[in-house]
Amino acid sequence: MFLQWLNPPKSADWLDVGCGTGLFTELIVKSCAPASVIGIDPAQAQIDYAGRKPIAAHASFRTGDAQALPLRDATFDIVASALVINFIPDRRRALSEMSRVTRPGGLVGGYIWDFGAELSPSGPFRLALRELVGDVPPLPGTGDSAQVRLYSLFEQVGFVQIATTSFDVTVEFPDFDAFWTAQTPSYAPTTRIIAAMDDRRRRQLRDAVRAKVRPAGNGVIRYAARANAVQGNVC
């Protein structure tokens, strides 16, 4: 949906900022008929993994920091970022870097989950946890996840013809255990909160979360999430 909304020209040179394992890079190659695609990510392990996938025959991957892109000025027609902008500590600096490496008239865009409205895939889990324990650490970039904040960030950096939109989606898990596992990765601050609970408290949390997601009769879990997107052109 995001790529359709961008409406990019064919045969464009693309940069995928925060490419991770290359999933969004694959969508660019399959959907947009690019002339070239470079994926960049600060995690070497992610880049190594992407480089071993079949997509590496159609795109190149390299390590780099979005706040200091190791790329020349005016190199790309389109710079895009999927579910990443909120995780960048200095978002204005990163967007300035994206602008720098984009050719005049080129396009920069990205989308992130609507964390402020708790409409990310972790929303129901976080709501239940907050009701049980009170203070829950905010997700990175929550304050900039609304459309109006994304628009403001792009405006401050100097993009023109800025536009925003939202994409409403349905998140689905085959059962509650799959949902719970997805919500409790080892690196998450909320997982550390759960680890500190005793068994009774942890059971209470599971019951509260289950009430939020309301599994269907066959155990499948479905609920709404929303991503906010922004795009702008480089002068």
Tell me if 70 sits within 8 A of 64, measured CB to CB.
Answer: yes
Q: Could you confirm whether domain 2-122+139-172+225-233 is CATH 3.40.50.150?
A: yes
Per-residue pLDDT at 82? 98
Tokens of 95: 């967007």
Angle at 27 between CA 25 and CA 33, to 5 degrees: 95
Pairing of strands 221-233, 160-173: antiparallel
Count other Cβ atoms within 10 Å, centred on residue 194: 18
DSSP code per residue over the chain:
-HHHHH-PPSS-EEEEET-TTSHHHHHHHHHH--SEEEEEES-HHHHHHHHTSGGGGT-EEEE-BTTB--S-TT-EEEEEEES-GGG-SSHHHHHHHHHHTEEEEEEEEEEEE-TTTT-STTHHHHHHHHHHHS--PPPTTGGG-SHHHHHHHHHHHT-EEEEEEEEEEEEEESSHHHHHHHH--TT-HHHHHHHTS-HHHHHHHHHHHHHHH---TTS-EEEEEEEEEEEEE--
Per-residue pLDDT at 223? 95
Longest dimension (CA), the chain: 59
Mean pLDDT to the nearest integer, 107-116? 97
Q: In this predicted model, what pLDDT tens digit does every residue of 126-185 receive, in sequence order?
A: 999 999 988 888 899 999 999 999 999 999 999 999 999 999 999 999 999 999 999 999
Q: Scan for tokens 């680890």, then name that residue.
A: 195
Q: Return d(Cα 29, Cα 47) in angstroms, integer.
A: 17
Q: What is the pTM of this model?
A: 0.93
Count other Cβ atoms within 10 Å, centred on residue 189: 10
Closest CA to 64 of 104, 107, 20: 20
Domain boundaries of the chain, sorted by first residue: 2-122+139-172+225-233
Q: In this predicted model, what pLDDT tens digit does every residue of 192-230 receive, in sequence order?
A: 899 999 999 999 999 999 999 999 999 999 999 999 999
Tell me if 101 sits within 8 A of 95, measured CB to CB.
Answer: no
Per-residue pLDDT at 134? 84
pLDDT at 40 over 90: yes
Mean pLDDT to the nearest integer, 41-45? 97
Q: Scan for tokens 């710079």, then name that residue.
A: 79
Per-residue pLDDT at 187? 84
End-to-end CA distance of the chain: 26
Q: In this predicted model, what pLDDT tens digit does every residue of 57-103 receive, in sequence order?
A: 999 999 999 999 999 999 999 999 999 999 999 999 999 999 999 99
Tell me if 31 sits within 8 A of 7, measured CB to CB.
Answer: no
